[in-house]
Structure 1
Amino acid sequence: MERKLASRPSSKLKDDTPTGAKTLRADARRNRDKLVEVAAEAFASHGTAASLEDIARRAGVGVGTLYRHFPTREHLVEVVYRHEVEALCNAAEELSRERAPDQALEEWMHRFVGYIATKRGMSDSLRILFNSNSTLFADSYGKVPIALSGLIERAMADGSIRTDVDSTDVLQALSGTYSMPNSPEWHDRSRRLVRLLMDGLRWGASKTRVP
C-alpha cells in the first residue's frame, strides 16, 4: 500500500536537491530521471489516482528507491512540474530551429496540452505546494508565457499568422483546457481547440501555408 505522506507539505522542498544531485552515481541518476519521466506520464494518464508503487514498477525500480529520491508525493510532483516547464520552454527553441514558424507554434501548442494534462494529474499536490513555502511557482513564473510569445512573434514576422495577435490571449485560451471537465474526450477536445486556434491565427495572414 502506498505510503500516506502526501498531506505533509514541507518548506524545504526544492527542485533537484542541488548538492545531493551532484553526487548521485550514474545509475542512481538514471533511476531518478526514469522515475520523473514515468511519473509525468502516469500523472497525465491517471491523474491524482496515479500510484507511486506503480510508477516505481514501471520505472523498473523498487518503491524504496522511489522514496529515497522523493520522500513524499509532493517532492516527486515538484520535480516533475519543474521538469515539464523546462521541457516546454526548451521545446519552443528546438521547434523554432526545426520547423516553419506557424508549424512550430502549432506543435508547441499541442505539447502545451500535454503539459496541462500532467499538471491536472498533479492538482492535489500542487495545491499543497502552493499553500506551503515552496518556491516552485515563483521560480517557474513567466517562463511559459515568454516561450509562447517568442513563437508568436516569429510567426507574425514570417507572415504565417495574423499580426494583431496578443500572446496573452492565446495563452489564456490554451490554459482553459485545465478547467475543462475530466472525461475520456478531454485530450481530443483539447487537440480540436488547438486546431481552431491555429485556424483563427492563420486567417488573414499575408502568407498562405497549408497546415
Structure 2
Amino acid sequence: MRADAKKNYDHILEVARGVITEHGSDASMRDIARRADVGLATLLRHFPTRETLFEALLCTNLDALTRTSAEFETSNSPGEALVSWVRDWVAFAQSYKGVVGMMAAAHTNPDSALYASCAAVHSASARLLARAQATGAAREDMNGDDLFALMTALGWAVDQPSFAPRADHLVRLITSAVLTQPR
C-alpha cells in the first residue's frame, strides 16, 4: 500500500473507532466518511462492507484476546483459566457496542469478513473448555459451540445499558453453571 493510502486507511480507522464507540455497530458509513473528511467511495474502496471495517477495527483486539487464551491454556488452574477467558471476552464485547451480534452472525458464515476472528475465538474457547473438562473442572455435557453461544449471549446482555453494571455478576453466574467445582 502506498504511503498516502496507508495514511488514509489509518486515519479512517481512527475516526471509525470513535464513531463506532459513540454510535455502536450501526454507525453510518456515510458519517464515518464525512468525519474522516474522505469521500464515501474512498471509504468503500478501503472497506467495501461494514464487516470489513469491523474486521480491521477488531483485528488487533481479537488477536490480543486469542493470544491471552494461549497464556490461559498453560495456567495452573483450568477452571480459573476458563473464567478469566470469559471475563476477558466480556470486557472485549463491552468495548464495541453491537459487535457481538455481528460476530454471532458471522460465526457460521465463511464468506464473512469476521469469520476468521470468530473462528479463532471459538477455537480458543473450545480448547479452554476441553482443558477444564479433562481435569473435571467443567461440565462434560457441553462443547465449544455451547460455550461460544453462552459467551455470545453474555456479551449481548452486557451490551444492554440495563445489564452492563451487572457484568461481573453475570460472568460469575454463567461460569458457575459451566464449572463443576464451586469457586
Interval containing the TM-score (normalised by the shorter chain): 0.5 to 0.7
Structure 1: runs of 5+ lacking an equivalent: 1-19, 56-61
Letter in 1 for 2:98: R
Tell me whether 148-157 or 181-190 shows the greater mean CA deviation.
Answer: 181-190
Does structure 1 conserve the Cα–Cα contact (< 8 Å) formed by 2:158 and 2:166? no
Of the three residues 57, 60, 65, the one matched with 1:83 is: 60
Q: TM-score, normalised by structure 1?
A: 0.55
Return the structure number with greater helix share: 2
Match in the other structure for 1:102:
79
Does structure 1 conserve the Cα–Cα contact (< 8 Å) formed by 2:157 and 2:163? yes
Larger RCO, structure (CA 8 Å, separation 6 or more): 1
Of the three residues 87, 91, 98, the one matched with 1:120 is: 98
Does structure 2 conserve the Cα–Cα contact (< 8 Å) formed by 1:106 and 1:198? yes
Matches within 5 A, 1:1-211: 20=1, 32=10, 39=17, 43=20, 47-48=24-25, 63=36, 74=50, 76-98=53-75, 100-117=77-94, 118=96, 120=98, 135-180=112-157, 183-203=160-180, 205=181, 211=183
Structure-1 separation of matches of 2:163 and 2:91: 11
Note the C-alpha offset of 1:92: 0.9
Note the C-alpha offset of 1:99: 5.2
Q: In structure 1, the residue corresponding to 2:93 is in which secondary structure? A: helix
Does structure 1 conserve the Cα–Cα contact (< 8 Å) formed by 2:83 and 2:175? yes
Q: TM-score, normalised by structure 2?
A: 0.62
Match in the other structure for 1:8:
none
Does structure 2 conserve the Cα–Cα contact (< 8 Å) formed by 1:152 and 1:167? yes
Structure-2 separation of matches of 1:122 and 1:71: 20
Number of aligned residues: 172
Letter in 2 for 1:175: T
Structure-2 separation of matches of 1:137 and 1:82: 9
Does structure 1 conserve the Cα–Cα contact (< 8 Å) formed by 2:138 and 2:179? yes
Structure-2 separation of matches of 1:199 and 1:101: 14
User: Structure 1 residues 182 and 153 mapped into 2: Cα distance closer, same or farther (>3 Å)?
Assistant: closer
Structure-1 separation of matches of 2:128 and 2:158: 29
User: Structure 1 residues 119 and 98 mapped into 2: Cα distance closer, same or farther (>3 Å)?
Assistant: farther
The structure with more radius of gyration: 1
User: Structure 1 residues 138 and 51 mapped into 2: Cα distance closer, same or farther (>3 Å)?
Assistant: closer
Backbone CA RMSD of aligned residues:
4.6
Note the C-alpha offset of 1:137: 3.3
Note the C-alpha offset of 1:44: 5.3
Q: In structure 1, the residue corresponding to 2:98 is in which secondary structure? A: helix
Structure 2: runs of 5+ lacking an equivalent: none
